[in-house]
Amino acid sequence: MMIWFHCTSAWAQGDISIVAGISNYQGELASYSTANGFKAKIGPVLGIHAGYEMSSRFQLRSDLLYLRLSGDDLLNEREITRSRNLNFFSPVIQLAGGMDWNILGFSQKSTKSFSPYVSIGASIFYMNPMTTYEGKKVALHPLGTEGQYLSDYPDQKPYSLFQPSIQIGGGLKLFTSGKMIIALETMMSYTFTDYIDDVSTIYISYDELLAKSGPLTAALANRQGEYLNSEPVVVSTGTKRGNSATNDFFGTITIRLGIPIEITSNQFKVRHKNGKTIHCPKF
């Protein structure tokens, strides 16, 4: 006679969290010098996080985030930069994966209630740089403000709205008395594009853009006339508009609030009449 006993075998531990925080962009339209400029570059971050414990020291992670990036020449203290008068904002949707190194060890089975950690990973993100013109939101990518759609400038290729990044960051993880997980984190995303802000290389002359790309593209490629309250300022093709030698990047500061999870697999064990037991298989 054999007696069957049901048992449960755990095969994975991790956490699921909600994420909230702030984002900050660095690029051609970032203002490094004024307090007002720094505040203007701050945007919201919202998302979800999932973690999988490989051990108390190492954890795989995945994040899906929405954030908003922005920059504005008018907030710069340098007159020459303010007179350029370019600005942008962009929603960003970022899907990231990586690994945390918990320096002190951090696990549901550990007695340690906190640990600093270092994180590395990679992401794919969607961006869509926009500006406001005559009270309306205008997407900049379709316009080709630096001649991206003109056959006369084959080196000015259209940029993709989907871009990769390398992520480096870290923070502090805590278990609360109720066994919730709180994580305070800062993360930098180093991108491979200089077009988060739609500014990278050169001006195309106003008259040429007006004739070949239309009045809206010409108006938004060079906005110095708006700053001076004058007619459009004509600059020659090839005049520096941005700095293509360095790519844009952005950072986030977030807090996560999550719950530990234990994923289980239902199995059976069999006890024979001779007293021997076949245990649940381990994965």
Is the pLDDT at 227 greater than 80, yes or no? yes
H helix runs in 136-223, sequence order: 206-212, 215-221
Of 1, 14, 94, 92, whose CA–CA distance to 59 is shortest? 14
Domain ranges of the chain: 9-261
Is the pLDDT at 269 greater than 50, yes or no? no
Specify the CATH number of the domain 9-261. 2.40.160.20
Q: How confident is the model at residue 250 (pLDDT cuts 50, 70, 90)?
A: very high
Percent of the chain at pLDDT exceeding 70: 84
Q: How confident is the model at residue 178 (pLDDT cuts 50, 70, 90)?
A: confident
Which amino acid is located at 153 in the chain? Y
Contact 89, 37 (CB under 8 A): no
What pLDDT does 37 receive? 62
Q: How confident is the model at residue 179 (pLDDT cuts 50, 70, 90)?
A: confident
Please tell me the pTM assigned to this model: 0.85
Average pLDDT of span 250-268? 82
Tokens of 30: 């970032």
Burial class from Cβ neighbours inside 10 Å (0-12, 13-18, 19+) for residue 15 reads buried
Tens of pLDDT, residue by residue over 44-53, are: 999 999 999 9
Residues 6+ apart with CB under 8 A from 195: 129, 159, 248
- Return the SS3 of 60: strand
User: For residues 10 and 253, what is the distance between their CA atoms, to the nearest angstrom?
Assistant: 33
